[in-house]
Structure 1
Amino acid sequence: MGEFASYKNKRVVISGCFSGMGEATAKLLLQLGAEVHGLDYKPSKLGLASFTQVDLREPAAIDAAVKKIGGKVDALFNCAGLPQTSPALDVMKVNYAGTRRLTEQVLPLMSAGGAIVSISSNGGLGWSRRLPVLMGLLKIDNYDGIVKWCQDNAETVREGYAFSKEALIVWTMMTSTHLIKRGIRINCTMPGPTQTPMMSQFEQATAASVLEAAAQPINRRSTPEEQAGPLVFLNSDAASYINGVALPVDGGFLGGVATGQIDLSAMMAGAAKSA
């Protein structure tokens, strides 16, 4: 990526830097010259400018972590997440409520030219079918209110993973129109199946036919490094006109679905059996 997307003299914050896509992203940012401040539930072994252990299920811990980092922040990478094998409310807290809280706490440290990117998922591709419900959730602007909504709407939230990723996509789109007026961009990615330590949890909870279908047409899972590149690009100056995008990083899966070349019937049948 070199000078095209250089992070020299840039100060960045990244959640989920312990492993998987977050760790791969942090490594790439270090290679590109960034001053990297990491957050995670588990300690990172990388040579970061700072590391703060934080639980995204605890808003006070999020606030304290951001206060500890302080200073100007040029870019935020929201890479922390939980799989559907965790309790549904915990999944919603980390994947949406905690990610949103972290972003809103970092925003006062950002100025024009700043950028934010979050990891959503192809598991959230059904967002358009539930837009009215999602917009109702997104209107709630405080952590405790979001948690209560999730508790009161457990049948909608279900296992938490798909719904949290849908919420993250729509929140990114909605927020982008406001932040860009301050010169700050926000985007997210929609990874396909990726071979990270979390993949074993997906394999426990998801039918093999679903995972196999989601890896088409490229017919393999991505590596964490293949997901890190697009994340780093989206927050770089090279992507200065990209805003409010949910970028598929899936080897062509959504393209195949949109053009009828990938049949979702087996995938949907497998998903129903997994539920």
Structure 2
Amino acid sequence: MSDILGYKGKRVIVSGCYSGMGAATAKLLVELGAEVHGLDYKDSSVSLASFTNVDLRDPASIEAGVAGIGGDVHALFNCAGLPQSFPPMDVMKVNFIGLRHLTEQVLKLMKPGAAIASIASTGGLGWSRRIPTNMELVTTKGFDAAVAWCEANMETVREGYSFSKENVIVWTQYMGAHLIKQGIRINCTLPSPTQTPMMAQFEAAAGKDVIEAATQPMGRYSTPEEQAGGMVLLNSALASIVNGVVFPVDGGFMGGVATGQVDLSVMMRGRPAPAAAQ
């Protein structure tokens, strides 16, 4: 029972391992005995089996990075992300389009029993109100087609962050029904606001009071290590039948909303929805 999570000796990929939740996830996986291969736009200080500089805005960079890792991959952790302070199309490419393209490349290296976990956000909770629109983008074929769809629908994309996270959520649920037929699972997390290097940008973009409202009922920001725990659990052997799930890692925020115990008034003032930093 010493390896109850099942990571010892497993080959895993972590995108966004430079800082925040991605760095915390990579460190935890190393501690659990996994062979961890990292991808990021900036160099990582984590003790990894390999590290490759990859730009999720560039499909060729993604393809080269995955090809360089090669071999069997047992789990993928999509942790890379940009806040809404970046250009909208950069945000869309990193947070969804590049994430999807990376996953599609890694899937070629996966066999039954493998698993994928991605970081979404409470900022994407509008997905349930416009599933047909999300499905238009989610079902595009290839990186370029997804970019073209976004460029033709910038009034929907807007600042990029909320829409990108909506599509991570919808795509995860859509792909769950397909990949499980291959014995591969896919899930995503909904983090509460998390104290990472990007938090200052989230507070500036949405308003600190709006971000802090999403810390209810716990009353504090989560830590990257706490968020890493949720990601690692989803891809573990213990979660062998957990699939297509949007998993709140939020100290009770979603439960509080559902039962009327969270005051949403601050978040409903016309500002962007609160977002969990990565």
1:180 is aligned to 2:176: no
Please tell me the residue identity of whatever aligns with 1:55. Answer: D
Correspondence for 2:30 = 30
Q: Once the 2 structures are TM-superposed, how far is the Cα of residue 268 of structure 1 from its aligned partner?
A: 1.2
Correspondence for 1:267 = 267
With over 3 angstroms needed to count, the CA separation of the structure-2 counterparts of 1:156 and 1:75, relative to structure 1, is same
Correspondence for 2:118 = 118
Structure 1 residues 1-275: aligned runs within 5 Å: 3-269=3-269, 271=271
SS class of match (1:90):
helix
Which ranges of structure 1 fall in alignment gaps of 5 or more residues? none
Q: Once the 2 structures are TM-superposed, how far is the Cα of residue 4 of structure 1 from its aligned partner?
A: 2.0
With over 3 angstroms needed to count, the CA separation of the structure-2 counterparts of 1:243 and 1:126, relative to structure 1, is same
Please tell me the residue identity of whatever aligns with 1:183. Answer: G
Provide the C-alpha distance between the structure 2 equivalents of 1:134 and 1:270, rounded to a whole number of angstroms: 21
Please tell me the residue identity of whatever aligns with 2:170. Answer: V
- Give the number of the structure whose residues are more often helix, by fraction: 1
Is the Cα contact below 8 Å between 1:2 and 1:32 reproduced in 2? no
Please tell me the residue identity of whatever aligns with 2:15. Answer: S
Provide the C-alpha distance between the structure 1 equivalents of 2:259 and 2:154, rounded to a whole number of angstroms: 34
Q: Percent identity?
A: 65
SS class of match (1:44):
coil
State the Cα deviation string for residues 71-101 of structure 1 (Å, max 9, x = none): 0000000000000000000000000000000
Provide the C-alpha distance between the structure 1 equivalents of 2:50 and 2:182, rounded to a whole number of angstroms: 27
SS class of match (1:52):
strand
Is the Cα contact below 8 Å between 2:162 and 2:273 reproduced in 1? no
Q: Once the 2 structures are TM-superposed, how far is the Cα of residue 2 of structure 1 from its aligned partner?
A: 5.4
With over 3 angstroms needed to count, the CA separation of the structure-2 counterparts of 1:34 and 1:273, relative to structure 1, is closer
Q: Once the 2 structures are TM-superposed, how far is the Cα of residue 209 of structure 1 from its aligned partner?
A: 2.0
Q: Once the 2 structures are TM-superposed, how far is the Cα of residue 265 of structure 1 from its aligned partner?
A: 2.1
Which ranges of structure 2 fall in alignment gaps of 5 or more residues? none
TM-score, length basis structure 1: 0.97
Provide the C-alpha distance between the structure 2 equivalents of 1:244 and 1:164, rounded to a whole number of angstroms: 18
Is the Cα contact below 8 Å between 1:6 and 1:33 reproduced in 2? no
SS class of match (1:27):
helix
Provide the C-alpha distance between the structure 1 equivalents of 2:222 and 2:90, rounded to a whole number of angstroms: 26
Provide the C-alpha distance between the structure 2 equivalents of 1:121 and 1:65, rounded to a whole number of angstroms: 26
Moved more, 166-175 or 263-272: 263-272
State the Cα deviation string for residues 10-29 of structure 1 (Å, max 9, x = none): 00011000000000000000
Provide the C-alpha distance between the structure 2 equivalents of 1:263 and 1:128, rounded to a whole number of angstroms: 20
Provide the C-alpha distance between the structure 1 equivalents of 2:229 and 2:238, rounded to a whole number of angstroms: 13
Aligned-residue Cα RMSD (Å) equals: 1.4
Q: Once the 2 structures are TM-superposed, how far is the Cα of residue 126 of structure 1 from its aligned partner?
A: 1.2
TM-score, length basis structure 2: 0.96
User: For this pair of structures, how many residues does the alignment match?
Assistant: 274
SS class of match (2:108):
helix
Q: Once the 2 structures are TM-superposed, how far is the Cα of residue 273 of structure 1 from its aligned partner?
A: 11
SS class of match (2:218):
coil
Please tell me the residue identity of whatever aligns with 1:39. Answer: L
Moved more, 260-269 or 95-104: 260-269
Please tell me the residue identity of whatever aligns with 1:216. Answer: Q
